[in-house]
Structure 1
């Protein structure tokens, strides 16, 4: 959840490498850091509302399953059509942000020789799985943006990239726990949403991380997809992404979780993705992380 640091990931297939630790100025730690290769060629950009041939590092990630009924199914009525975009992608000149109170900026990079520390008891895999599932199931904007849903795959992959699902890890820059939440960000979110999440409790830590993803979804969605109806404005579907990293909300939210909202959503400017490798890593983990089978 902050800038200039290493991350955890998995090694389920050839594209995926061994897990490394988040939080210490880009330093490699045993096991090794994710380093998924970027595509050697940039695919031709197409409209964001059309199915695309994704680049090698993100092919077939998160595409929605078929909604066609099985041959034996006999529905009484036709399924409701899925909403489609009215535009071809994010606005190049975004709307003014709807949120005026924003999280604190990410910390500065730390000494690359720093080692993470551990405190407290590490939660079991089953405990972590339950905590992340509960966090993904919650509606964080029940009144103003109830259409926002944070995919469970995104929550699981982010936690794996950030900490390797280690609930008791503390990074050198201060990031804490499963979702590597910064103390200042936790304080801000508790005030913004009237909560009292404990950053050191693995369950609350999961809610804090998912809550931050939800806040980023609304903040960036309103700015760059504000011309879309709510059911489209906040969609984190991989199928809406083209070969350009700044083509969809999903990539922007992943990038901002790591680099801060201000580096991605800039007033009067198109979406920026300052950390493409991090985005590729999380997108790959959303499809192939061993944590998905837990």
Structure 2
């Protein structure tokens, strides 16, 4: 998550499915350094029937009605209906963006890690079935039930991002400080918890998945309001060969490099990390993790 995050890179789709690496990102001016990580040789055993021990306890109500669990009933706080979206004549981004609607933004990216640093591990590795459950739950949430209930994070995007970032290793800690499945930066986790009235534990694999999903949802709202006139569809069919043509690619890029490198006031939409975007897009359709 964010520029400088430890992430799993691939040279091609075939290489993605065969092996993964954690990388320490650079400063955005050049290619990032890659550090190989040896994956476990055996697949972890499925979760016990009684579920993992680190399920989050009752969660505090979210500020701005964000981050709550899915519910069949409308949120009691959702007293106002969402404003109707303008009719768009194109699915591409605005050449001149609108001012951002969110004035509270995440902290800046971290500094690049020291050369030659190797990622570390702490705690117990979650099983594959536990990870799948956590990512599925995070994708099923309605993050903005009041102002943007149509924001949905595709399950394929959650799975692919987690695979790119960590190879689904819940207990990995990157050299730049990225933690867990979604490689959440501690400062970003603190910001999101404070901003939205949550208390997610970055070291608990389920909460880590929720933090990653929350950040993807925040980026969808932020960039969607600026460049896509509140059209929040993360739909690959809206993308063309130009990487800056759709919201999906922009959100993927911003998850890795930070919102400020992608969505800039008065400037066209930018994709500063094209290889990362291509990797995640490929994983969304061809990753072995999709069958887990």
Q: TM-score, normalised by structure 1?
A: 0.77
Aligned position for 2:274: 276
Go from structure 1 to structure 2 and tell me whether the alpha carbon gap of 1:250 and 1:293 turns closer, same or farther (over 3 Å shift): same
Matched, 1:89 2:87: no
Superposed CA RMSD in Å reads 2.1
Distance 2:148 2:251 in 1: 16
**Preserved CA contact (<8 Å) 1:4 1:108:** yes
Distance 2:116 2:6 in 1: 12
Structural mapping, 1:67-82, within 5 Å? none
Distance 2:140 2:222 in 1: 20
Q: How many correspondences in the alignment?
A: 239
Q: TM-score, normalised by structure 2?
A: 0.77
Matched, 1:240 2:241: no
Structural mapping, 1:1-294, within 5 Å? 1-4=1-4, 7-8=7-8, 14=14, 16=16, 17-23=18-24, 26-31=33-38, 85-226=88-229, 230=230, 233-294=231-292
Query: Per-residue deviation at 1:172?
Result: 0.7
Go from structure 1 to structure 2 and tell me whether the alpha carbon gap of 1:267 and 1:24 turns closer, same or farther (over 3 Å shift): closer
Go from structure 1 to structure 2 and tell me whether the alpha carbon gap of 1:10 and 1:267 turns closer, same or farther (over 3 Å shift): closer
Query: Per-residue deviation at 1:6?
Result: 5.3
Q: Secondary structure at the match of 2:206?
A: helix
Distance 1:122 1:88 in 2: 41
Query: Per-residue deviation at 1:31?
Result: 4.5
Distance 2:15 2:238 in 1: 22
Distance 1:96 1:198 in 2: 32
> What are structure 2's unaligned runs of at least 5 residues?
27-32, 40-85
Query: Per-residue deviation at 1:28?
Result: 2.4
**Preserved CA contact (<8 Å) 1:216 1:261:** yes
**Structure 1 residues 22-50: Cα deviation after superposition (integer angstroms, max 9, x where no partner):** 44662321359xxxxxxxxxxxxxxxxxx
Query: Per-residue deviation at 1:13?
Result: 5.6
> What are structure 1's unaligned runs of at least 5 residues?
33-82
